[in-house]
Amino acid sequence: MSSTSIVRDPDTTSTALMTKRAWWLVGLNVLVPGSAQTLAGNRRFGRFALGTTLAFWALVVIGVLAALIGREAVLPVVTQPVVLWAMAAVLGLYGLLWVICAIDALRLSRLARVSGRARVAVAVVSIAALVVTGGAAFGAAWTAGTTANILAKVASNTIDITGPDGKPVAVGALTGPANILLVGDDSGDGNAAYGPRGESLNDVTILIHLSPVSHSVTAVSIPRDLYVAQPQCTKANGTVSPAVKQARFNTALSRGGLNCVVASASALTGLPIQYAAKIEFDGVVAMSDAVGGVPVCLATAINDPYSGLTLSAGEHTLQGAQALAFLRTRHGLSTGSDLQRISNQQVFLSSLMRTIKSSETLGNPVKVIALAEAAAQNMQLSTELAQTSTMVSMALALRSIPLDRIAFVQYPSSPATVHGQSVTLPNDGDASALTAALAADQAVVTQKLGGAAVSSGAPSGSSATPTPSASATPSGGVPVQLPSGISGQAADQSTCSKGQTG
């Protein structure tokens, strides 16, 4: 008797033949959903399921080929919310169809006619295949739908930033070197857990130069107490905030929101800023949780009653509120200054970059989605940065940049007293060297660590300096060594924070 006869017209009295038939049906359903029904069940349904399966496979093959041939062109398209929702619907319906086919194939196998030991095996294989394949389809549908919702949420909370000409910046996806401003808002966004807050201040302002050309990233932390002029700027409601002759840099956010911080940073550095983002306290908490914590090293203990941070010397993995407290602490450091806090933040951020670029993070879809969700709920992006094509192009550019070409530097300044106020004033010569390197799209390295950092393994209070390790890639050029007055570190440098030394 042929295999076709066994499937279509079985001898139900033969246990051996019915066992063989059951394996055929289950196997066919695993390989080509719909084929079992076409041969032994409802042929109309079988032909529909078989056609759907072949169409689905064709779409998968086309998608894979498109990704292999032109990934950078395809990714911005397939990550549009409408496309992702369509993918979620298709994957979900196909998963449902596969489950129906699997259950029906098990029914058609007539387990009651199958030998006892094989009966259990056939049922187990069928159910296992149903769970694995159907689960994969439903999981992919959930991932696509969740990503679409996150992107839609990001797009619903954006703000236009304006250039020096007063017109909204319109640049689109990243195609060359670009500057992104990251602003940390200390308002707490109304969360009572952070206690009563005053005006919104940009206590953390980081200008990031990202370049797929020089294969480098330079993140410049601007001190909150930097006492400089701030230009007029346009608020979100369209009104104009007048220029001020001198003010602490962290007052820019309260003067008129994110756009005023962008205008002030651009005026300070002379660099155009194409993209910007504002992050709240809860965003830091959520993002540190999303990556499973950030490992940091302490050369000496930190005990800061103001931020509530108590950490012993040694290794710690920080996440949640503890990570936020570590980034905010001043009084837990040896001098209690904001300049030391920036150095402390660079220790954390360097470790965060190593964590994010590790396979454990980028290779884990759950962590990637959690990071995106944390950003969507706790960040406000400029309109151009919120575009899917922009985010994808930035992610692709960042992935190809090695850790030794990611530099965290502090905008050069010195403590001073002006009109009875403790502030910092820019060191113009060193600042010019830094901004000239960024304007020329050059990678940079520093000659010394910040005041709150020591090289890993160095004794407490050590003044050990980093050894520049940035590599010169064929298309990236040799990094520029910054003046000794500019402190910072590369992302591949493992450093420790110095707490109180007393």
Q: Are 472 and 328 part of one and the same domain?
A: yes
Neighbours of 147 (CB within 10 A): 22
State the average pLDDT for the chain: 85
Partner residues linked to 408 by β-bridges? 219, 489
- Sign, CA dihedral 147-151-156-158, equals positive
Q: Are 44 and 105 part of one and the same domain?
A: yes
Cα 221 to Cα 201: distance, rounded to the nearest angstrom:
15
Burial status of residue 400 (CB atoms within 10 A of its CB: 0-12, 13-18, 19 or more)? exposed
Cα 432 to Cα 435: distance, rounded to the nearest angstrom:
5
* Residue at which a domain ends, from 155, 187, 213: 155
Residue 24 lies in a domain: yes
Q: Are 63 and 109 part of one and the same domain?
A: yes
Residues 6+ apart with CB under 8 A from 221: 204, 205, 206, 342, 345, 346, 408, 409, 410, 411
pLDDT given at position 348:
93
Residue 263 lies in a domain: yes
For residue 489, is pLDDT > 60? yes
Q: Closest Cα partner for 348 from 334, 329, 367?
A: 329
Partner residues linked to 495 by β-bridges? 455
Residue 502 lies in a domain: no
Which of 271 and 397 is assigned the larger pLDDT? 271
Q: Are 252 and 370 part of one and the same domain?
A: yes
Residue 130 lies in a domain: yes
Looking at this protein, which amino acid is placed at residue 456?
S
Residue 201 lies in a domain: yes
CA torsion 421-427-428-432 (nearest 10°) is -130
pLDDT given at position 458:
44
Cα 293 to Cα 285: distance, rounded to the nearest angstrom:
10
Q: Are 216 and 195 part of one and the same domain?
A: yes
For 407-436, write each residue's pLDDT tens digit. 999 999 999 999 888 999 999 999 999 999
How many domains, the chain? Answer: 2
Lowest mean pLDDT across 124-128, 217-221, 240-244: 124-128
CATH label of the domain that carries residue 341: 3.40.630.190
* Residue at which a domain ends, from 155, 182, 205: 155
Q: Are 222 and 275 part of one and the same domain?
A: yes
pLDDT given at position 465:
45
211 CA to centre of own chain: 17
Looking at this protein, which amino acid is placed at residue 309?
L
For residue 6, is pLDDT > 70? no
pLDDT given at position 462:
38
pLDDT given at position 363:
63
For 442-476, write each residue's pLDDT tens digit. 999 999 999 899 988 544 433 444 444 444 444 56
pLDDT given at position 502:
46
Residue 461 lies in a domain: yes
Q: Are 177 and 63 part of one and the same domain?
A: no
Looking at the chain, the whole-number percentage of residues with pLDDT higher than 90 is 41
Residue 381 in tokens:
């992006």
Q: Are 88 and 145 in contact (CB under 8 A)?
A: yes
Q: Are 73 and 62 in contact (CB under 8 A)?
A: no
Q: Are 100 and 249 part of one and the same domain?
A: no
* Residue at which a domain ends, from 122, 155, 188: 155
For 56-102, write each residue's pLDDT tens digit. 989 889 888 887 887 667 777 777 888 889 999 999 999 999 899 99
For residue 481, is pLDDT > 90? yes
Residues 6+ apart with CB under 8 A from 57: none
Mean pLDDT of 318-347: 90
Max Cα distance, the chain (Å): 103
For residue 359, is pLDDT > 70? no
Q: Closest Cα partner for 407 from 203, 225, 206, 202?
A: 206
Residue 71 lies in a domain: yes
Q: Are 180 and 171 in contact (CB under 8 A)?
A: no
Which domain range does residue 350 map to? 159-497
Q: Are 99 and 175 part of one and the same domain?
A: no
Residues 6+ apart with CB under 8 A from 74: 63, 66, 67
- Give the chain's end-to-end CA distance (angstroms, integer): 90
Q: Are 49 and 135 part of one and the same domain?
A: yes
357 CA to centre of own chain: 10
pLDDT given at position 496:
93
Q: Are 143 and 173 part of one and the same domain?
A: no
Lowest mean pLDDT across 247-251, 277-281, 348-352: 277-281
Residue 174 lies in a domain: yes
Mean pLDDT of 202-214: 94
For 120-177, write each residue's pLDDT tens digit. 888 888 888 888 888 889 999 998 898 888 888 888 888 888 877 777 787 777 888 9
pTM for the structure as a whole: 0.81
Q: Are 322 and 455 part of one and the same domain?
A: yes
- Please report, for residues 236, 242, 254, the alpha-carbon distance to residue 247 in angstroms, rounded to integers and kept in the order given: 21, 13, 12
Cα 60 to Cα 48: distance, rounded to the nearest angstrom:
18
